[in-house]
Amino acid sequence: MSFEPGGGERNRRDHGQSIGESYRTAHELLSASLSAGLLTYGGYWLDQRYGCLPVLTICGGVLGVISAVLAVRQVVLRMERQSLHTRDGVRHPGVSGRAKPESVVGPESDRPAEMKQD
C-alpha cells in the first residue's frame, strides 16, 4: 500500500473507509443472492412435503427474486448517493452517503453567486 506523503493518517482513514464500504457492498449482494436461493429452496421443500410440486417452488423463487432485486436496488441507490458526494475521486469532509446536500463543499467557482464567500 502506498499513501501520499504528508497525508498520513487521513489517507489511511480514507483507505480504511473504502475497504469497509467494499465489504459492506459485498455482504449486501451476497445476502441478496442467498435470500433468493433460500426462498426458492424453501418453496421446493414445502412442495416436497405437501406434494404440490411446482407451485410453492415457483412462489418461493418469485419471492426470492423480488427480495434480491430490492436489495440490489438499495445497494445501487446507496452507491449513487455516494458518487454524488464524491468529486474527482476525493471524498469531501463530513460526507457519508447520507449527508445533506448543503454539507458538501465544492470549488468556489461551482457555487451559486449567493453562496460565494467574500
75-112 pLDDT, tens digit per residue, is 999 999 988 887 656 555 555 555 455 545 555 555 55
pTM above 0.85, yes or no: no
Distance CA 21, CA 26 (A): 9
CB under 8 A, 24+ apart: contacts of 37-40: 37/64, 38/64, 39/63, 39/64, 39/67, 40/64
pLDDT at 39 over 90: yes
